[in-house]
Amino acid sequence: MDKINSFLVAVDEYLGASSWFPYLLLGTGLFFTIYLKFPQIRFFRHALRIVTGKYEKDEMQGDTTHFQALSTALSGTVGTGNIGGVGLAIYIGGPAALFWMWVTAFLGMATKFVECSLSHKYRIVGEDGTIAGGPMYYMERKLGMKWLAVIFATSTLICAFGTGNMPQINNISTSVASAFGIPPWATGGVLAILLALIIIGGIRRIAKVTEKVVPFMAAVYFIGAFTIIIHNHENIIPSFGLIFSSIFTGTAAMGGFLGSSFAFAFTRGVGRGLYSNEAGQGSAAIAHAAAKADEPISEGMVAILEPFIDTLVICTITGLVILSSGAWLEKVPNVFQRADMEIIEGRYTETDPRDVAALASHINLTAEDRIRRFTGTLALKKGRIADGQNITLIHARSLAEDVVFSKNGKPIDGNAAVKDGQLVDKAIAVTGASLIHSAVLTAEAFKKGFLGDFGQYIVAVGLLLFAFSTVISWSYYGDRAVTYLWGSKYVLPYRIAYVFAFFGAALADTTVVWSLAAVAIVLMTVPNLFGILMLHRDMKQSIAAYWVKFRKEHPREISS
């Protein structure tokens, strides 16, 4: 499995983790922003009117209301990316990563407007009477590229398990076990039964659940977050200063943070932005295709609100919690993850500017990196590295402190083999103090407010609600992919498999699944971006036709 994971990670280095992918994503959003004359600004107020149901009619065809479609799509995007993804972006790219998340969201509003409009326009009524829509339908029905549609649908199905299902319950069960001591099998079992009761009912039941869950979970998270931000109010302006001062230069070393480059801030900010709001990926377009509307453009306008709510609002709040609390700079005791740990040759300290510069070059993978990974034997006494060894341990992009090596729960007395910076014996556990990232960082930041340690429970509950709602929505995306590929008769077996995979992942390591999904995300996004770029004239004509019809039906309305 390690070899498979390494292969997938290597493949992703040329796809989502490569330099061309962020430019393609942002470039498409920029093109439609200019080509359609800033629709995310011009149509924003009109989108708010539509989502309230002001123009809905009973005779309109569809399975959900505008608000239900928005809630379903938001429940798919508002998830671990909003809690853990922001923490990961700041940890790797520094505060400036948040700015690039904003840019991705702003441009993504235009991209989402286009993909959701076109998916709604070329949707069909399925064999079972439900609406079937998504990028695969315009790829086949308008572009005549069934092969491209098959690639997209297959990748969607992989992502349904790989990002929407298995890693989510793994995060939930781990978080709940850490916060409340509930065993993973119990959490997985209860939620699997609840998931089955929801998704067996199809999109109508899913929509009824998400329209209630999304506002509730957002309110809980907002209240908790603002208690932290208000408690650390004196750091709000300095936090924004850090974001804007390091946009093009990268972030200098401070606290336990060893610095980040512009390249890391840019790629991680854009990457986390996509993972957060999925603009360009084509997934949310599947949910919006089911909305009751006689004009596809009206549903596309509703979709404009998603990146705004998801990234420009929720991710910004998470970012301010992390930055204003100072948690991103502090080392805390934790169990070291092998993927975040590295043993290097030489003794380095944070007090020597030359050491800090060398370490920053190493962890940011710059051309100036001269640090070598250690290969040899560690001499350990009562679990600690014996004096006189010329090595340094890095964990989570910071110098580790108070490090203890143990095996079977006991500190090691003896030697431990190291090859290319990694421990050879995978049974050895390492603990110590270092920087932290992802949801753990956000949970730590939530402790630094009026609620004290109780704040971490808000993150645990928020993560549970956010992640579970993501699982629900992605079940529908996979549902529509199965319908496209093989027909509606295979939907029920798919739903059963989805529930069983959900329960199994509560107990298993999902690293390989996550790596597979990282590749599949690109195989969804690239065909979708290609498709909507090919249909740019179709989109512009549809917008013009929409406003002509709207002015006839609502002559007293002032269009945006």
Residue 146 pLDDT greater than 90, yes or no: yes
Q: What is the pLDDT of residue 77?
A: 62
Quick one: how many helices (H) and strands (E) in the chain? Answer: 25, 13
CB–CB of 184/177 below 8 Å?
Answer: yes
CB–CB of 165/498 below 8 Å?
Answer: yes
Q: What is the pLDDT of residue 559?
A: 46
Residue 534 pLDDT greater than 50, yes or no: yes
Mean pLDDT of 336-364: 90
Mean pLDDT of 373-402: 92
Residue 232 pLDDT greater than 90, yes or no: yes
Give the pLDDT band of residue 358 (cuts 50, 70, 90).
Answer: very high
% residues pLDDT > 70 (the chain): 92
Give me the chain's average pLDDT, please: 86
Mean pLDDT of 166-176: 78
Q: What is the pLDDT of residue 560?
A: 42
Give the pLDDT band of residue 172 (cuts 50, 70, 90).
Answer: confident
Q: What's the pTM?
A: 0.84
Mean pLDDT of 461-470: 81
Q: Compare 261 and 526 and report the one with higher pLDDT.
A: 526
N residues, the chain: 560
CA separation for the pair 133, 136 (Å, rounded) = 8
Residue 167 pLDDT greater than 60, yes or no: yes
Q: Check residue 238 and report its DSSP letter.
A: H
Give the pLDDT band of residue 513 (cuts 50, 70, 90).
Answer: low
- Reported as half-sphere exposure (CB side, CA atoms, 13 A), residue 443 has a value of 22
Range list of H helices, 382-510: 438-445, 455-486, 491-505
pLDDT tens readout for residues 486-510: 988 899 999 999 999 999 888 876 5
CB–CB of 317/229 below 8 Å?
Answer: yes
Among 73-82, 93-102, 224-233, name the one with the lowest average pLDDT. Answer: 73-82
pLDDT tens readout for residues 78-97: 666 677 778 888 888 889 98
Tokens of 267: 């790629």
Q: Output the CA torsion 258→263→269→270 (10° steps).
A: -160
Burial class (CB in 10 A: 0-12, 13-18, 19+), 144: exposed
Q: Output the CA torsion 511→170→208→290 (10° steps).
A: 10
Task: Tell me how far CA of residue 373 lies from CA of 343, 355, 420, 427, 553, in angstroms.
Answer: 6, 15, 5, 21, 69
Q: Count the Cβ atoms, other than its own, within 10 Å of residue 486.
A: 13
At 290, is the secondary structure helix, strand, or coil?
coil
Q: What is the pLDDT of residue 154?
A: 93
CA separation for the pair 35, 537 (Å, rounded) = 10
CA separation for the pair 284, 274 (Å, rounded) = 12
Which residues neighbour 205 within 8 Å (Cβ) at sequence distance 6 or greater? 198, 199
Among 11-20, 276-285, 498-507, name the one with the lowest average pLDDT. Answer: 11-20
Give the pLDDT band of residue 19 (cuts 50, 70, 90).
Answer: confident
CB–CB of 287/63 below 8 Å?
Answer: no
Instruction: Given CATH 1.10.3470, say whether it is the number of domain 23-330+446-553.
Output: no
pLDDT tens readout for residues 428-440: 999 999 998 887 8
Q: What is the pLDDT of residue 275?
A: 63
Mean pLDDT of 162-168: 81
Give the pLDDT band of residue 66 (cuts 50, 70, 90).
Answer: low
Where in the chain is CATH 1.10.4160? 23-330+446-553
Among 21-35, 55-69, 438-452, name the one with the lowest average pLDDT. Answer: 55-69
CB–CB of 396/435 below 8 Å?
Answer: yes
Q: What is the pLDDT of residue 337?
A: 84
Mean pLDDT of 279-293: 85
